A = this chain, B = another copy of it.
Amino acid sequence: MRDAYHEQLDAVNGRLVGMTRKAGEQIQLATRALLGAELDAAEKTVAGDAVINRDRHEVDEQVIEVMATQGPVARDLRVVTAALRITADIERMGDLAVHVAKIARMRYPDHAVPEELRSTFASMGTTAVEMADKAGQVISTRDVQTAAQLAHDDNEMDHLHRSLFLVLLDDDWDRGVEAAVDIALLGRYYERFADHAVEIAGHVRYLVTGELQ
């Protein structure tokens, strides 16, 4: 049987996994809003961010409570400091999903993304959801192989991100400046979302190895 202390740490871990799942749902919803010009999905994404913010607040308080009452050292100390870093990353992932949703909302009933780029953003959305889920798996299993997969997915995201600029900056681009600016910012939001998933894996690696990145 585990002692109360380690049960507290397990509870924190479980909440972190739940938060990554929620971040994945948020970017999925935001992507739907973006690709379908769905106002309802955009509004739901914006409203849903409060859940992640509340979770971050509660989990941080739980972690600080463990620190105060248990005075963790060595590996347990790494677990709690990593948890504080992970909540910060997930909160930011939620913010980025909101940024995507707000561009969809701003352009509604038009599409922010012209037809020829929708499949690229669909792939970015799918990759982002998978990366959030894998970040959750890394937290849950502490499996280094899943962490390696995240680095691979991040390369895929970078590739998709770069491919946007090839289209935007081509002489044939005829969608105007506003669409180009939207797409540049949207590309950045997805890329940053992915970066945070990779950073989460880095925090878990630190927790396991004791090496700061």
Contact = CB atoms under 8 A, between A and B. Distances in A.
A77 interface: yes
A57 interface: yes
Interface string A126-166: 00000000000000000000000000000000000000010
Which of A84, A178, A184, A188 has the most CB atoms of chain B within a 10 A radius of its CB?
Answer: A184
A73 interface: yes
A110 interface: no
Contacts of A212: 57, 60-61
Contacts of A168: 177, 181
Q: How many copies does the complex hold?
A: 2
* Chain A residues touching B, majority SS: helix
B173 A177 contact: yes
A173 B169 CA distance: 16
A52 interface: no
A122 interface: no
B68 A81 contact: no
Given A57-B212, A88-B88, A181 B184 contact: yes
A178 B185 contact: no
Which of A57, A81, A177: most chain B Cβ within 10 A? A177
Contacts of A68: 73-74, 77
Lowest 6 A-B CB distances belong to which pairs?
Answer: A71-B71, A181-B184, A177-B180, A68-B73, A184-B184, A169-B178
Given A64-B81, A67-B77, A84-B85, 15 more contacts: A64-B77, A67-B81, A68-B73, A71-B71, A71-B73, A81-B84, A88-B88, A169-B177, A173-B177, A177-B177, A177-B180, A180-B181, A184-B184, A184-B185, A188-B188
